[in-house]
Structure formats: structure tokens, C-alpha cells
Amino acid sequence: MGDLIHRLQTRAFELTEAQRRIADYVVQHPMEVAFLTVDKLASTVGTSTATIMRFSAAVGYSGFSELQKELQANMKHKAAPQTRLEANLKDANKSELLQQHVELQLDNIQYSLDNIAEGTLQEIIKKIEASNNILCTSVRSGRPVGEYIAFGINRILGNCKYIDADKSEWVDESINLTSSDLIIAVSYPRYAERIANMLEVAKSCGAEIVLITDSYSSPITKYADFILPCSSASAASHNSIVSAIFIVDYILSALAINYPERTKPRLDKINEILTKMSYHTKR
């Protein structure tokens, strides 16, 4: 549904009043729309089947069935893990599972590339470099992404900390935030309330927020200044972090390359200390 929400956001001004009414119903009742016939949807919304078809075309689909396929896929990926696994088992081909996995992850990465403007990435990179303090937060399946970007930023800039939103210590950290600070949050379905709690406090303190999530329809997006949609679809039951790691890895690379006058001396000093400690195994 993230792609659909993005299309609605960018094309809303082109829709007629009747089409906007359909759009509102789709956003508010995605599970229902995913399995309604076009006739039933038209009757429910109080419009014609022709208007439903024109709406589908207006937001970039070949027809209502294509729009439904996206909704159905999205419902499968946002359901509870056991439900997702059950749904994916119906489509799985064990003899071709590796190839299916590769294709799915390539689609996930392409989704991010299609939905994140390069200008947005560059603005985020500048914001990270300019921030006084950076807090990265996540829970559960998003934790590897949150910890990875926090470690990477702190290693090259020295002003970043990871906080688990499931632990109450975030309250102590958040109350000192200012407009010069930045929060980078990772939130996947089924979206933890603790992430929303932390971002709400951070927002009230004036901090800016970068959100890595699965789609524009994520309920946490209302707190974000920057949204990085990274599909978490997997071939089984878990939220996949592949596309998010891809985007985060680019951000870390760009930080190091764009600001060598700041990052290189720090990395040199870290290496000097580790070498004196004989930290690394001698080959």
C-alpha cells in the first residue's frame, strides 16, 4: 500500500471529487478493498464501476485488479508473522526458493530506489553531518538496522548513540533534545507504540526525525521530517532488513566520502589506538 499512498499523495490534485472519495475509502479500509469486487466497492462508496476504473487509471494502475494485487500483497506482509508465513507457504516453491528470495530482495531494493528521491538522501546526509547529537532507535526486527547506522555514524562522526525504544532510558535522553539534534528511527510492521511515544517526545523538543519504515502508510510517518520507505517483505514470516541496510550503507558511505576533513582524522585516530592495543588478529 506504500506505493499506492505515494501515488495518492502525488496525484491527489488530479482526482475528481468522486475519485477522492474512493481514495479516502481505500486508505481507511485497505483490507476490505483488497478483496471486494469492483461492483461491490462501487456500491459501498456510492459511485459507479466506471468511476472506480477511472480512479485506478488516474493513480497509475492498469485497472482495479492491479490495484487490488498491491493491496493483497501488502496485507500479507503486514499481518502477524504466523499469518504471513501461512500465506507465503501457499506461494513458495521450495526448489526455487533461493531464486524467489533473490528476486524479492531486488524488488525490495528497487522499491526504495523508486520511492526515495536522491535529493532527499542528500538532504538527510547533510542533516546528519550538521546535527549536534544523533539518537538512533528501533525495536525487535528493526534493531539490526538501528544499531548498524548508529555504530557507523558514531564511528565516523562521534556524536551518535543507539537507544532501544523498548527500554525507558529513552525518556532521560529525549528530554534534552533540541532543534540541533536528530532522531533516526526504524519502524516495521506491526509498528511498536514505544517508537511512536519516543518520536512524539522528540518532536515536542524540536528535534528533527528521519524515519526508516516500510511504506508511506506507516502510522509513524506523521512524526517524521524525512521518510525513507524500505520494503520489509520477506519470503517467510519475518520483516526483511535487506533494503534498509542497502540505504543505510549508502548513507554511511556518502558521509565518509562527502566530509573527509571530518571523518578521516577520526578514523585515523581510532585505527592508531586499535593498533597500539594489538586489537586485530595478526595474519
pLDDT class of 118 with cuts at 50, 70, 90: confident
Residue 26 predicted with pLDDT over 80:
yes
Q: Is CATH 3.40.50.10490 the right assignment for the domain spanning 113-274?
A: yes
- Locate cell 461492483: which residue? 39
Q: How confident is the model at residue 159, as a pLDDT?
A: 93
**Average predicted confidence (pLDDT) for the chain:** 85
pLDDT tens readout for residues 56-79:
999 889 999 889 888 877 665 555
Fold of 1-78: Arc Repressor Mutant, subunit A (1.10.10)
Q: How confident is the model at residue 9, as a pLDDT?
A: 62
Where do the structural domains in the chain lie, given as residue ranges? 1-78, 113-274
pLDDT tens readout for residues 127-168:
999 999 999 999 888 899 999 999 999 999 999 999 988 888
